[in-house]
Structure 1
Amino acid sequence: MVAFGKKLKETQIQEWQGYYINYKLLKKKVNRYAQQLEVGAQDHHYVLKDFSRMLDSQIEKIVLFLLEQQGELANRLADLREQHDEILQLSDGSKIFELREAYRGVGYDLLRLLFFVEMNATGLRKILKKFDKRFGYRFTNYYVKTRANHPYSQLRQVFRHVGIGAVVGAVSRNLADLQDHQGNYVSIYDQPALSHPDPVIHSIKAAVNRLSNSTNFLEFLGKHAFIMQDDLPSPSEDDVAEQRYHFMSLLLNLVNTFLYMVNTYIVVPTADDYSLSLGAAATVCGVVIGSMAVAQIFSSVYFSAWSNRSYLRPLVFSSIMLLIGNALYALAYDLNSIVVLLVGRLFCGLGSARAVNRRYISDCVPLKLRMRASAGFVSASALGMACGPALACLFQTDFKIYKLTFNQDTLPGWVMSLSWLVYLLWLSISFREPPQEVKENTRPQEAHAGSAVNYTAENSFTQPLLLNVESKQGQNGDQEYDDDDEEDSCEKTSKPVTSIVSAYRLLTPSVKVQLFVYFMLKYAMEILLAEASVITAYYFIWSTNSVAIFLACLGLTVLPVNIIIGTYISNMFEERQVLLASEIMVLIGILLSFHIGIPYSVPQYVGSALITFVSAEVLEGVNLSLLSRVMSSRLSRGTYNGGLLSTEAGTLARVIADGTITMSGYFGVARLLNATLVPSLFICISSIVATCITYNSLY
């Protein structure tokens, strides 16, 4: 991993060298401020004022140059526009070819400008982050709020690339007009994107998407997988992924994801009846459902560590544990033992291999397919969540074979045991263990600016604009980098974190807030789903079939909602705006769920549940997308990675939610609904307040 200062020097366009952010100077200033404050030579007010003035000057330099370059591109396009219609009327093939190449030239220069904006935005974010960490201020919050919201904002030119869109549109429209099938449409504004756009248009679109965080359904859905990316990948790293990739192995990972989610939710409609049949209270269903999540807290860690050495062996172990766990779950009925039931669910939780599934996609799927694989992972999870309850409603039977009972309570266990047995056989036959990755310590050769632009645009379009690239101590005696800054140590950043304590130290306030938001949404969803069978049976006397259909319908909303959000909403509003709005909608859903005074009705319950669940699903996508932007890139790999941290936060939320249901059961089923909603309400309000506090750092 290359320090940002060195990376900026290597990849900057030489003729534009004087217009980049002076990252080295700003870092020296931060170090000097620290020394001055330590000896009392300056006060905090002067430091804040002086540093703000320096940043304003740097941004003005960048923006004025950016506007100048946009003007030059606009003049070139205007000159080409004068030739355009005349050449098309002459139908001169050679002239059309020359015109097309001229437009492509403008396009490649535009790519260079986009890369210029990206590097400066990254440098600005890095130095703000460093200032906050060094002095313990919320300077970023103040600076972004005052500069970005001002009517004469120059900061928006850097982060929102205002004006570049018009140049992109002109290049795209004219190149499309010069293609062979011109005349089949009125314009690019009236027809969908061309099936085979010019390569430079594809590159520009990819670069703009990274800058603006523009997205589509596939990318938005893929963000739910929270498969974090390291810095801009090198071609050699992608070659390694190509060699390790095997379609059938990827498919087996996705099937594992699907079956595990089915396994999780197939017992939800019948868990209360099963508990009653074994002599326990109906609210013990919270422990029955949550015991799987309890075990998953521990299994996620050892599976994440195991995946450093192998993928096949942990998947085999996972299948065996789930096979045994489901068999015990089914046998608990004939053994009349709630203990066996809970042990069975614990075994199922110990077989959770979601960390392996994520890791396989991250390490063994080529970059060009990674977003699709991530979307497949999320789709498999959503489909499993919907299919679990749907399958449960089909098991309305009761018969015995020898001494084994098969009914709506035990059939989920027997069916899942058989499914995992079939999967285990398929896994043993078809899975191919990828070769172990060989780590090299050699540093790549200095990259040419043009190739950096092209590779970044072509191959890294799923990367966010503000990458968490790291820094290190400068050379030639210049104290360019902070020796005491763990994140900026080259030796440390070359390796992933090795303990949960080291991982926690990398969590900035923004990261902690986003993990808390993730905790909140998982808690609210688990409360809703896990207590559905008890609540609906008490208030509406719903049968198991009705509960199963209701839960299945909730699960089926995942993909349509993500289509709408990923295609439209996320491109109309900033992610932080969608995040805050979604949290408020979750709060509204929780408030509408309370039973106060008037008789509790089916429309009230179903409507509030739908608002809560859908809002939480929307929240999950934008939350994980923002989390990947603010989280350190050191957490993109290794055992204690960002995916593990988010999984642990979500799993802990489920454990606490299921425990809340069981504990609230002691107050009686009549008070269960309100008793479980009060903690949800408090956590949701807390997350909204925390989001507002860190709102301006989520850029």
Structure 2
Amino acid sequence: MVNFGKVLASDQLEEWKEYYINYKMMKKKVKQYVQQTQDGGRNHEQVLKEFSRMLDEQIEKVVLFLLTQQGHLASRLEKLGQQRAILTEHSDISQVSQVREAYRQVGLDLVKLLRFVDMNATGIRKILKKFDKRFGYRFTDYYVSTRANHPYSQLQPIFKQVGIVAVAGALTRNLASLQDHQGSFISIYDHPSITLKDPVIEQINNSVQKLTHSTTFLTFLGQHAMIIPEDVQTSSEDLVDDQSYHFMSLMLNLVNTFLYMVNTYIIVPTADDYSVSLGAAATVCGVIIGSMAVAQVFSSVYFSAWSNRSYFRPLVFSSIMLFSGNVLYALAYDLNSLTVLILGRLLCGLGSARAVNRRYISDCVPLKIRLKASAGFVSASALGMACGPALAGLLQTEFKIYAVTFNQNTLPGWIMSLAWVGNLIWLWISFKEPDHFAKENAVNTQSSDSGHGRNDNLEGGLAQPLLTEAKERQGENADNNENDPKESHKAATSIAAAYRLLTPSVKVQLLIYFMLKFAMEILLSESSVVTTFYFNWSTSTVAIFLAVLGLTVLPVNVIVGSYITNLFQDRQILVASEIMVLIGIASSFHFGSSYCVAQYVVSALITFVFAEVLEGVNLSLLSRVMSSRLSRGTYNGGLLSTEAGTLARVAADMTITAAGYLGQSQLLNATLLPSLVICVASIAATFGTYNTLY
């Protein structure tokens, strides 16, 4: 992250300077504590007590000042309310604009106070993390649990802002009643859908939302896609202007996202039949489905690197690879070759451009519509996941043209190859390379003789729109590299370097992501084999079942993003969802002589739906706790989460194939057992880092 000490010094208000936490002093103290304990001058217990007392005093200073300022704002609002009542009583509309401007000035002062709270809340988090890192303790867990839940908690005013939210509510209500130049009988409490079009109120709402971690549906989906940085709502600058934004290029990225997800899941209902038709076991479907994910492990890296230089060329390459892979997949039937079949799926995985799709939205879409574009990315993925199996269910026909067979096994390949040809043509005609790449190419051409490299900002991928060039030059968080400030602000240059930036809480979030993707892949990939064995379902029935599961994605995200995350903390939803996924997995096991459809369907719905809830909340938390050094460059947080999910899919599909050697009667329990173990491990790890997830 950006060096917080420098940011605090440069951004704090001069008149409030003495009331901010003294982060610089505490940072030096932590360094002294380390030296003193190493020299034997102090024991750990003495250090913990002194550090706790010092931090308590700093927090108390902030809270008392915060309460004083809240009182000043409340007093001003009370006086303005009296003025407004007099104006309304005498119908003196001519003075309303003056009162409104006075309310807005209070609003601007409230925004300043919210930023004051935000800076101090961030400082508290950072100094606790620094202390833990230096001493190897879990002091944060102890400190937060003892202070946050105490009846006289001074952390609550900073992290919950009950008083500030009340002031914001009073200000919003009064401005809403004045927006039509006269008293209004419509209340924001009786009509929550009423939106006040006032820039001051929008700033207040965004600041409060960031502080409280409450969210909207669009913000939730943006974090779900690992596109929206934590404090995107409060950014006053944007590196993308309206003139450089190209709507059709964004649409092509979303179409690529949709088609890739269709391509991934269109073969799931028929993969077992296809493998049997080629002389292999039905459980080889795990290899067929998983080979695409195997290739994606590698393609995600080179596509992420390629998107530092271009978006058009990797998308063209993606379409070509996916076209070729689907043709081979379809031809494998007439060639009677399992090798060709798997090779086709490998080529499809090598064409996975999701890193490019995600990066394009981060880099090339204006801030004001980036939330909607991020929601479009998640929606396109969800729709493709549902449409893939549904489309497979419609392809129940068989005919020949010359020596080429078209049936339920080969038609998915032929249909998708035609789709990718159409996408390639549309891409070639309509896609526009972003202006910053065009300018970069021109600069590189002019400076090639001098050996200058690419612009450092472009090398970083421009994936962190919140950080201006000036702030970039301030250097990254000293936690990561205190002795080398020139290096500490750079993006990670390898997977190993990115891994070293991961804190325990981030590692746990990636483990949770691995777990939920593993469980979902087991459920989806073996569904055809399991339902055929136990219930004798047809391909069409399996396709409908998978399509229904896919269609739950968006409604679940709407409920969680619009309501649930505003009622509960993300970490509470995280734990509850993990437990429900565990219940879903446990209830899927086959015990006894019979296995009914109701048990399978209900347990599958519980597993899938709560895995979806878990995914959104997990990535939302991940976007907050992950270092901003991982928000740009090739080896970014989005790539790490993609790799974790892809490796989970590979592991799940390989598990299905390996379990096939035990026989289809043992397949279900053999594949569910690893899911159960990983789920239990992720729950235990979550409780171990629970107090750091705030």
- TM-score under structure 1 normalisation? 0.92
Matched, 1:584 2:579: yes
Tell me the amino acid that sits aligned with residue 424 of structure 1.
Answer: L
CA distance in 2, matches of 1:165, 1:529: 44
Give 1:384 shift.
Answer: 0.2
Residue aligning to 2:248? 248
Residue aligning to 2:658? 663
Matched, 1:690 2:685: yes
Give 1:696 shift.
Answer: 0.2
Deviates more, 1:521-530 or 1:196-205: 196-205
Residue aligning to 2:645? 650
Matched, 1:493 2:488: yes
Residue aligning to 1:401? 401
8 Å contact 2:294–2:646 — kept in the other structure? yes
User: Structure 2 vs 1, CA of residues 233 and 626 (structure 1 numbering), >3 Å: closer, same or farther?
Assistant: closer
8 Å contact 2:390–2:543 — kept in the other structure? yes
CA distance in 1, matches of 2:185, 2:387: 43
**Mapping 1:228-307, distance limit 5 Å:** 229=229, 238-240=238-240, 242=242, 244-307=244-307
Structure 1 unaligned spans of 5+: 443-458, 474-480
Pairing partner for 1:523 from 518, 522, 529: 518
Deviates more, 1:60-69 or 1:590-599: 590-599
8 Å contact 2:392–2:408 — kept in the other structure? yes
| Cα distance per residue 1:39-66 (max 9 Å; x no partner) | 1111111111111110000000000111
Matched, 1:563 2:558: yes
**Mapping 1:587-598, distance limit 5 Å:** 587-597=582-592
Give 1:100 shift.
Answer: 1.2
Residue aligning to 1:331? 331
8 Å contact 2:206–2:234 — kept in the other structure? no
User: Structure 2 vs 1, CA of residues 514 and 70 (structure 1 numbering), >3 Å: closer, same or farther?
Assistant: same
Pairing partner for 1:513 from 508, 520, 526: 508
CA distance in 2, matches of 1:82, 1:597: 74
Tell me the amino acid that sits aligned with residue 32 of structure 2.
Answer: R
8 Å contact 2:177–2:186 — kept in the other structure? no
Matched, 1:613 2:608: yes
Which secondary structure state, in structure 2, belongs to the residue aligned with residue 436 of structure 1?
Answer: helix
User: Structure 2 vs 1, CA of residues 566 and 110 (structure 1 numbering), >3 Å: closer, same or farther?
Assistant: same
CA distance in 2, matches of 1:228, 1:93: 43
| Cα distance per residue 1:370-404 (max 9 Å; x no partner) | 11111110000000000000000110110000000
Residue aligning to 2:630? 635
User: Structure 2 vs 1, CA of residues 401 and 216 (structure 1 numbering), >3 Å: closer, same or farther?
Assistant: same
8 Å contact 2:96–2:182 — kept in the other structure? no
8 Å contact 2:240–2:365 — kept in the other structure? no
- TM-score under structure 2 normalisation? 0.93
8 Å contact 1:147–1:153 — kept in the other structure? yes
Residue aligning to 1:371? 371
CA distance in 2, matches of 1:243, 1:94: 40
Pairing partner for 1:678 from 655, 661, 673: 673
Matched, 1:41 2:36: no
**Mapping 1:163-562, distance limit 5 Å:** 163-180=163-180, 185-227=185-227, 229=229, 238-240=238-240, 242=242, 244-436=244-436, 485-486=480-481, 489-562=484-557
| Cα distance per residue 1:253-304 (max 9 Å; x no partner) | 1100000000000000000000111100000001100000000001101111
CA distance in 2, matches of 1:562, 1:488: 43
User: Structure 2 vs 1, CA of residues 485 and 302 (structure 1 numbering), >3 Å: closer, same or farther?
Assistant: closer
8 Å contact 2:578–2:683 — kept in the other structure? yes
User: Structure 2 vs 1, CA of residues 235 and 105 (structure 1 numbering), >3 Å: closer, same or farther?
Assistant: closer
CA distance in 1, matches of 2:483, 2:354: 31
Give 1:239 shift.
Answer: 3.8
User: Structure 2 vs 1, CA of residues 577 and 227 (structure 1 numbering), >3 Å: closer, same or farther?
Assistant: same
8 Å contact 1:535–1:673 — kept in the other structure? yes
Give 1:82 shift.
Answer: 2.0
Give 1:162 shift.
Answer: 2.3
User: Structure 2 vs 1, CA of residues 149 and 471 (structure 1 numbering), >3 Å: closer, same or farther?
Assistant: farther
User: Structure 2 vs 1, CA of residues 236 and 21 (structure 1 numbering), >3 Å: closer, same or farther?
Assistant: closer
Give 1:86 shift.
Answer: 1.8
CA distance in 2, matches of 1:236, 1:565: 28
Give 1:441 shift.
Answer: 8.1
Tell me the amino acid that sits aligned with residue 35 of structure 2.
Answer: Q
CA distance in 2, matches of 1:242, 1:641: 26
8 Å contact 1:472–1:488 — kept in the other structure? no
CA distance in 2, matches of 1:236, 1:179: 25
Residue aligning to 2:569? 574
Give 1:244 shift.
Answer: 4.1
8 Å contact 2:210–2:231 — kept in the other structure? no
User: Structure 2 vs 1, CA of residues 683 and 180 (structure 1 numbering), >3 Å: closer, same or farther?
Assistant: same
Residue aligning to 2:450? none
User: Structure 2 vs 1, CA of residues 285 and 497 (structure 1 numbering), >3 Å: closer, same or farther?
Assistant: same
Give 1:151 shift.
Answer: 1.5
User: Structure 2 vs 1, CA of residues 470 and 617 (structure 1 numbering), >3 Å: closer, same or farther?
Assistant: farther
CA distance in 2, matches of 1:487, 1:610: 48
Residue aligning to 1:62? 62
8 Å contact 1:265–1:385 — kept in the other structure? yes
Give 1:136 shift.
Answer: 1.1
CA distance in 1, matches of 2:11, 2:595: 63
| Cα distance per residue 1:559-586 (max 9 Å; x no partner) | 1111111111100000000000000000
User: Structure 2 vs 1, CA of residues 311 and 472 (structure 1 numbering), >3 Å: closer, same or farther?
Assistant: closer
Deviates more, 1:288-297 or 1:194-203: 194-203
User: Structure 2 vs 1, CA of residues 62 and 440 (structure 1 numbering), >3 Å: closer, same or farther?
Assistant: farther
Deviates more, 1:25-34 or 1:78-87: 78-87
8 Å contact 2:571–2:693 — kept in the other structure? yes
CA distance in 2, matches of 1:488, 1:607: 55
Tell me the amino acid that sits aligned with residue 276 of structure 1.
Answer: V
Give 1:229 shift.
Answer: 2.9
User: Structure 2 vs 1, CA of residues 294 and 564 (structure 1 numbering), >3 Å: closer, same or farther?
Assistant: same
**Mapping 1:25-36, distance limit 5 Å:** 25-36=25-36
Residue aligning to 1:151? 151
CA distance in 2, matches of 1:120, 1:180: 38
User: Structure 2 vs 1, CA of residues 257 and 488 (structure 1 numbering), >3 Å: closer, same or farther?
Assistant: farther
8 Å contact 2:93–2:181 — kept in the other structure? no
Residue aligning to 2:446? none
Tell me the amino acid that sits aligned with residue 111 of structure 1.
Answer: V
8 Å contact 1:470–1:488 — kept in the other structure? no
Give 1:487 shift.
Answer: 6.8
Which secondary structure state, in structure 2, belongs to the residue aligned with residue 405 of structure 1?
Answer: strand
Deviates more, 1:430-439 or 1:200-209: 430-439
| Cα distance per residue 1:646-676 (max 9 Å; x no partner) | 0000000000000000100111101111110
Give 1:192 shift.
Answer: 3.3
Give 1:183 shift.
Answer: 6.2
Which secondary structure state, in structure 2, belongs to the residue aligned with residue 582 of structure 1?
Answer: helix
RMSD value, Cα: 2.2
8 Å contact 2:178–2:184 — kept in the other structure? no
User: Structure 2 vs 1, CA of residues 231 and 216 (structure 1 numbering), >3 Å: closer, same or farther?
Assistant: closer
Give 1:4 shift.
Answer: 1.5
User: Structure 2 vs 1, CA of residues 187 and 598 (structure 1 numbering), >3 Å: closer, same or farther?
Assistant: farther
Identity of aligned residues (%): 69
8 Å contact 2:224–2:619 — kept in the other structure? yes
CA distance in 1, matches of 2:231, 2:184: 42
Give 1:492 shift.
Answer: 1.9
Which secondary structure state, in structure 2, belongs to the residue aligned with residue 41 of structure 1?
Answer: coil
Deviates more, 1:66-75 or 1:90-99: 90-99
**Matched pairs, number:** 669
